[in-house]
Amino acid sequence: MLFSSTIFVFLFLPMVLIFYYGIFRNSRKLKNIFLLLASLFFYAWGEPTFVLVMIMSIICNYYFGLKVDKYKNDKRKAKSVIVIMLIFNLTIMFIFKYLMFTLTNIKYIKGLNFNIPNIALPIGISFFTFQAISYVIDVYRGNGKVQKNPLNVGLYISFFPQLIAGPIVRYETIAEQIENRHENFEDFSKGTCRFIIGLGKKMLLANTLALVADYAFSVKSSELSVVMAWLGALAYTFQIFFDFSGYSDMAIGLGLMFGFKFLENFNYPYISKSISEFWRRWHISLGTWFRDYVYFPLGGSRVNSKKRLVFNLFVVWSLTGLWHGANWTFIVWGLMYFVLITLEKLTKFDQKLGWFGHVYTMLFVILGWVLFRADNISYGIGYIKSMFAMSGNMFMDISAKLYFLENRYFYLGATLCSLPLKNIIGKKTNLNSKVADGLYTVMTLLLFVISVSYIVKGSYNPFIYFNF
C-alpha cells in the first residue's frame, strides 16, 4: 500500500486514526495492539505471504532480546546470542535478497549449468531486518530496556509509517516511546503538515522528473545526446532525493500523528561541500546505523594505523553498497564512495577546496546516481561517456529540447526545494509570526489539494526504495 495512494489517504489512514483516538483512546496497551495489527495489515496488503516472514522475525528477535537480557552479566553467553541473532537475521536477508545474485555469479564464474530459483523480494526487508538487529544489540548494550511483551517488539519492527522505506529507526531512540509516549494536538498538527510536504515532494517533483529519467535510461547510451544524458542524470538525482526524502517526511509526519518522534533522515544533502558531508546529510539513519553497529565496533577512525582505517572504511562502504541491492552497480557505487571518503580522511584535501568543494561533490554524486540507476556497469559507463561527449554522440537532439521545455519549471522547483529555503527566507524577511503561520497553513492546504489531484488522476507513482 503506497502512502501516495487514494486507498491510504482516504481510507486506511482515516480509519486507523478514528480507531486510535476514538475507540482505544483510553488504553495505551490497546493502542499498541491496534497499531501492530494495522501495521501487519498494511504490509500484508501488498505482501500477503511475506507477512509471515516478518512475524517470524518478530518472534525470533523477541526471544533473542530476552536471552541477551538474561545473560547481561555473562558477556560470553550474551555475545554468543548476538552472533546467533546476526546469523539468523542476515541469513533471511541473504536468501531473499542475495541468493539469486550469488548463484548467478557462481554459475558464470565456474561455467556451471544449473537452474537458479526465482525468489521474490519482500518489500522493505532491509529496513525491518536492520531494525530487528538494532533491537537486540541495543538491549545488549543497555541502550533500551528489553520488552517482555512480544507485541511491543512487533510494533517496533513492523510500525507501518517506517516499515517499507525507512527511516531506519534504532531501538534506543524510541524504546521509551513505545509505552510512554504522549500524543498532543501540536505534534499531530506538525505531523499532518510534514506528511503533506512529503506527499508534495513525491507527487509533484519525484514522479514528474521520474518520467524524464526513465526515458533517458531506456535509450541506448551511445544514442543519447549530451544534453539528454545530463537531463536524465539530473532528473534521477532529483527523483531519488525527493522520492526518498518525501517518503521519510511522510513517515516522520505519520509517526508524530501517533506520538512517535523519529530522527531526521535528510538534511539538505545537495548543499554539501564534501563527500563526507554529503553522507552526514543523506540517508542519515542508514549512515548512523553502519557507524554505530559496524564502523565503531571495528575501531572507527580511532585506530593505530592508516591501513586499519582504510580497512574499516572498506567494510562499511562495501556493505553500504550491497545493502542497496544485489547488483554489481550498487557494489561499485559503494566502492566509489569508499575511495572518495578515504581520500578525504587521509589527505583532508576537501577542506581546501572552498566553493569548488560543492562542484566536486555534486559531480561525483550525480555520476554515482548514474551507476546506481543503470541496469549494469557497462550501461552506466556508457551513459557517463555520453554525458561528456565521449561516445561520438551529438550535443542536443529533439528529445532533449522537448523534455527540457516540458519540465524546466520542475527542474527549477526541484533545485529551489533542495535548498534550506525556510532558513533563507526567515533571515531575509521580518514577517509577523501570525502572518507567517497563516501563509504556511494556506500553502500547505494548497499543496495537499494539488497532490491529491495528482493521486486521483492516477499519475506515474513508483517508490524507488521499496526495492531495498
Residue-by-residue pLDDT tens, the chain, 468 positions: 788 888 999 999 999 999 999 988 888 999 999 999 999 999 998 778 999 999 999 999 999 999 999 998 899 999 999 999 999 999 999 999 999 999 999 988 888 888 888 998 898 899 999 999 999 999 999 999 999 999 999 999 999 999 888 799 999 999 899 989 999 999 999 999 999 999 999 999 999 999 999 999 999 998 999 999 999 999 999 999 999 999 999 999 999 999 999 999 999 999 999 999 999 999 999 999 999 999 999 999 888 899 999 999 999 999 999 999 999 999 999 999 999 999 999 998 888 888 899 999 999 999 999 999 999 999 999 999 999 999 888 999 999 999 999 999 999 999 999 999 877 666 666 666 666 677 888 899 999 999 999 888 876 666 666 666
Q: What is the distance, to the nearest Å, from the Cα of residue 271 to the centroid of all Cα atoms in its chain?
A: 19
Contact 262, 169 (CB under 8 A): yes
Provide the residue ranges of all domains of the chain, joining segments of one domain with +: 6-181, 187-273+353-467
Half-sphere exposure of 114 (CA within 13 A, CB side): 13
Rounded Cα distance, 357 and 353, in Å: 5
Rounded Cα distance, 178 and 181, in Å: 6
Contact 357, 345 (CB under 8 A): no
300 is written with which cell numbers? 572507527
Half-sphere exposure of 99 (CA within 13 A, CB side): 14
Contact 417, 242 (CB under 8 A): yes
* 171 CB-near residues (< 8 Å, 6+ apart): 131, 134, 135, 138, 139, 143, 144, 156
324 is catalytic: yes
Count of beta carbons in the 10 Å neighbourhood of residue 229: 26
Rounded Cα distance, 401 and 63, in Å: 59
Helix ranges (H only) for 268-397 are 275-281, 284-290, 296-298, 306-324, 328-347, 356-373, 377-387
The DSSP symbol for 319 reads H
Count of beta carbons in the 10 Å neighbourhood of residue 398: 9
pTM beyond 0.85: yes
